[in-house]
Amino acid sequence: METRRDVFQAIADPTRRTILTLVALQAMTPGAIADNFDSSRQTISKHIQILTECQLLKQEQVGREIYYHFNPKKMKEVNDWLQPFRQMWEDRFDRIDKILGQMKKKNTK
SS3 95: helix
| Residue 61 phi, psi dihedral angles, 5° rounding | -85, 125
Q: Do 67 and 60 contact (CB within 8 A), yes or no? A: yes
The count of C-alpha atoms lying within 13 angstroms of the C-alpha of 83, restricted to the half-sphere facing its C-beta, is 7
Q: What is the pLDDT of residue 18?
A: 97
What is the C-alpha separation between 33 and 59, in angstroms, rounded?
A: 13
Domain 7-81 -> CATH class: mainly alpha
- Say which residue, 5 or 36, is predicted with more confidence: 36
Domain regions of the chain by residue span:
7-81
Q: What is the pLDDT of residues 18-68, one digit of tens each?
A: 999 999 999 999 999 999 999 999 999 999 999 999 999 999 999 999 999
Task: Give the pTM.
Answer: 0.76
Q: Do 15 and 22 contact (CB within 8 A), yes or no? A: no
Give Cα 64 to chain centroid, integer Å. Answer: 28
